[in-house]
């Protein structure tokens, strides 16, 4: 078959081959591979310049040291919370911690109070009735005067320099929020976590470098992200989720703040270990694209907005193009292949798409290893590359379902991620 496939490749016209590769070239090559390669070329050129012209220049140590409040808002996270607190303890000199128990029934608040006996700068708050993550985060705001608010999930393990890294961009007063790198704590637990771990390295660690450099970063990870408190106060806190982190990020952009990425502010988080949990998580993420970028914050493209910026327009164009238009185009292409492509050539076309996709993923793996602080671990994760095309087809199918149901039924406003008494009292965008 391989010989037949090579013969088919050599006999096809270049324009026809480009046509069958169009979805990959438009969807993934431009958005991830080309973008990441561009970032690397700039960084490598800067490295060469420093090596040649400033060979004795030392790395700049951490210089910005604002007051920090780490807020950990969670529900029934008594099992993982101690590890999160241990990872934070003693890593930054001007830090307080607030734990908000959002109506847990597993003793989460008691676990936090036990830990607080060892840390004088720690406050434990308990809400008797669950209100959702946004409600829990807002509940903590009156209890701190820190300059920077760092939100950490109750199952995250923050690196020893994570807080130092995430606060450095705030030396620039125009920066309103900083996104960190979220990596897998359990990459090799199962096949599903292995695939997700590589996806996180690709889309978050390297992918957000490109988005940040281009000025179109539109998301702060809920697992580990930082906000200027004055900006939070100006915007009156978090709105009702799901997707509250992305929503707040877009509101900050509309208010004129810059959103940047700190790649070496890193945390480890537990990834879903079964397929249905993963599908529900990704449905929720895709709902947010329609709710926020296509409805609530569509005024980002309004030239009459006092804070209108081309970067905000480019951000929405990116989301509309890749998460909606080209997603539907991908499935239209799949239907075209199945119905109109000659059966004798269908296998050749699919194999060509697979080979090109893996080659692009291999390029991204090399870029990941270049920036990595743990190359052996990331190389082991990268061995999942041959399986990634199938994984991404599954995610595109989930995206098709989620975007369609949110467009036509506003499905996100029936999701139990937010308690019913909260979601029924808010706007349905």
Cis previous bond, 242, omega within 30: yes
- Determine the pLDDT at residue 367: 92
For 205-222, write each residue's pLDDT tens digit. 999 999 999 999 999 999
- Mean pLDDT of the 198-204 span: 95
pLDDT single digits (tens) 271-285: 999 999 999 999 999
pLDDT tens for each residue of 19-66: 777 777 766 666 677 777 888 888 888 877 777 665 555 455 799 999
* 170/352: higher pLDDT: 170
In this structure, what token pair is assigned to residue 154? 């109750």
| CA-based end-to-end distance of the chain | 52
Which pLDDT does position 58 carry in this prediction? 47
pLDDT interval class at 421 (50, 70, 90): confident
pLDDT band for position 1 (cuts 50, 70, 90):
low
DSSP string for 161-217 = THHHHHHGGGGSTTEEEEEEEEEESSTTSSHHHHHHHHHHIIIIIIHHHHHHHHT--
Angle, CA 365 vertex, CA 279 and CA 58 arms, to 5°: 120
The pLDDT, as a whole number, for residue 280 is 94
Q: Is the pLDDT of residue 17 over 80?
A: no
Q: What is the pLDDT of residues 372-402, one digit of tens each?
A: 999 999 999 999 999 999 999 999 999 999 9
Mean per-residue pLDDT for 164-168?
98
pLDDT, position 109 = 94
Q: What is the mean pLDDT of residues 358-384?
A: 94
In whole angstroms, give the CA distance from residue 124 to residue 127: 10
Count other Cβ atoms within 10 Å, centred on residue 229.
18
What pLDDT, in 10s, does the model give residues 79-129? 999 999 999 999 999 999 999 999 999 999 999 999 999 888 999 999 999
Edge-to-edge strand ranges of the sheet holding 148-152? 122-127, 95-102, 68-74, 148-152, 224-228, 175-184, 258-269, 156-158
Per-residue pLDDT, 59: 57
**Has residue 253 got a pLDDT over 80?**
yes
- Pick 391 or 306 by higher pLDDT: 391
For residue 259, the cross-strand partners are 177
Averaged confidence pLDDT in the chain = 90
**pLDDT at residue 398, as a whole number:** 97
d(CA 355, CA 341): 19
Residue 256, phi-psi category: left (phi > 0), alpha (psi -120 to 50), beta (remainder)? left
On the question of pLDDT at 316 being above 50, the answer is yes
Quick one: average pLDDT of 251-259? 94
pLDDT for res 28: 65
Q: Say yes or no to pLDDT of 426 above 60.
A: yes
Give the pLDDT of residue 60: 55
The two structure tokens encoding residue 333 = 């292409």
CA angle 81, 82, 86 (to 5 degrees): 120
pLDDT of residue 29: 64
The DSSP-derived string for 226-257 is: EEEHHHHHHTTSPPSSSSHHHHHHHHHHHTT-
In this prediction, residue 119 carries a pLDDT of: 85
Q: Which 3 state secondary structure label does DSSP give 160? A: coil
pTM of the model: 0.92
Question: What are the boundaries of each domain within the chain?
Answer: 1-50+159-429
How many angstroms separate the CA atoms of 244 and 133, rounded? 8
Confidence of residue 286 (pLDDT cuts 50, 70, 90): very high
Residues of the chain with pLDDT > 90: what percent? Answer: 67
């Amino acid at each position: 078959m391989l010989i037949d496939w090579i013969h088919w490749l050599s006999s096809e016209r270049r324009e026809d081959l480009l046509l069958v590769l169009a979805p990959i070239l438009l969807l993934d090559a431009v958005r991830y591979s080309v973008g990441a390669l561009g970032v690397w070329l700039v960084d490598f050129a800067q490295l060469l310049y420093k090596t040649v012209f400033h060979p004795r220049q030392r790395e700049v140590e951490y210089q910005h040291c604002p007051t920090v409040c780490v807020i950990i808002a969670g529900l029934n996270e008594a099992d993982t919370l101690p590890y999160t607190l241990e990872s934070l303890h003693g890593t930054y000199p001007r830090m307080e911690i607030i734990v908000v128990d959002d109506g847990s029934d597993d003793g989460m608040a008691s676990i936090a109070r036990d830990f607080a006996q060892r840390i004088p700068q720690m406050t434990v708050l308990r809400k008797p009735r669950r209100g959702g993550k946004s409600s829990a985060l807002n509940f903590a705001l009156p209890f701190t005067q820190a300059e920077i608010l760092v939100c950490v999930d109750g199952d995250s393990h923050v690196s020893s320099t994570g807080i130092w890294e995430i606060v450095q961009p705030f030396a620039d007063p125009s920066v309103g929020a900083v996104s960190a790198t979220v990596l897998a704590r359990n990459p090799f637990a199962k096949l599903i976590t292995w695939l997700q771990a590589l996806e996180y390295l690709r889309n978050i660690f390297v992918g957000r470098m490109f988005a940040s450099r281009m000025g179109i970063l539109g998301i702060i990870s809920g697992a580990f992200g930082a906000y200027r408190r004055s900006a939070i106060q100006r915007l009156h806190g978090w709105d009702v989720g799901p997707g509250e982190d992305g929503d707040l990020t877009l509101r900050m952009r509309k208010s004129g703040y810059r959103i940047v990425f700190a790649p070496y502010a890193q945390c480890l988080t537990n990834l879903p270990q079964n397929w249905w949990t993963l599908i529900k998580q990704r449905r929720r993420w895709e709902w947010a694209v329609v709710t926020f970028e296509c409805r609530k914050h569509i005024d980002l493209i309004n030239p009459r907005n006092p804070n209108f910026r081309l970067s905000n327009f480019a951000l929405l164009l990116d989301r509309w193009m890749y998460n909606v238009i080209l997603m539907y185009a991908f499935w239209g292409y799949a239907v075209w292949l199945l119905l109109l492509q000659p059966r004798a050539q269908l296998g050749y076309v699919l194999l060509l798409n697979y080979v090109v996709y893996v080659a692009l993923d291999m390029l991204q793996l090399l870029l990941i290893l270049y920036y990595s602080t743990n190359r052996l671990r990331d190389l082991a994760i990268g061995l999942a590359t041959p399986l990634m095309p199938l994984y991404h087809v599954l995610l595109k199918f989930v995206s098709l379902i989620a975007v369609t149901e949110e467009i036509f039924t506003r499905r996100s406003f029936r999701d139990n991620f937010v308690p019913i008494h909260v979601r029924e009292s808010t706007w349905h965008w």
